[in-house]
Amino acid sequence: MAARKKAAKKGGASKSGARKGGAKKGAAKKGGAKKATRKSATKKRSGAKRTPNAAFMKPMQPSEQLGSVVGNSPMPRTEVTKKLWGYIKRKGLQDSKNRRMINADENLRPIFKKDQVSMFDMTKLVNKHLS
């Protein structure tokens, strides 16, 4: 009897188990069937891999200053960025406190024109040295 009184106080349900509004017991549960996300829906439709943008894949000639870091042969912008990051990691030029900042050494100073640049500004500055 005491259990029924506690249940009546907590949930406010009557002895017959009927709920307010006439909702069924399982209808109020959260987390029903998940909707397909846009990413998975497009993946199912296309089935093909993304093709790279031709503008990024066009071989570009680095300037003399940039060539001292990444090499003098023509290469796509994506490859220039990869080689530049390899150089930065190898020489330990990322700022230890703020990892988004790149400290310039004697080879990067002519390209960046500063002692320190953010990784987002780095690509803008490097694109000026590609033709």
Tell me the per-residue pLDDT of 62-118, one tens digit each, with 9 for 90 and over: 999 999 999 999 999 999 999 999 999 999 999 999 999 999 999 999 999 999 999
Supply φ then ψ for residue 94, to 5 degrees.
-75, 140
Residue 122's nearest CA partner among 74, 113, 131 is 113
Q: Give the DSSP H or E segment for 11.
A: helix 2-11
Check: CB of residue 101 under 8 Å from CB of residue 109.
no
pLDDT in tens, 45-72: 567 888 888 888 899 999 999 999 999 9
Q: Give the DSSP H or E segment for 113.
A: none
Domains in the chain, CATH or no CATH each: 55-127 (1.10.245.10)
Model pTM score: 0.60
> Looking at residue 6, what is its pLDDT?
58
> Looking at residue 47, what is its pLDDT?
73
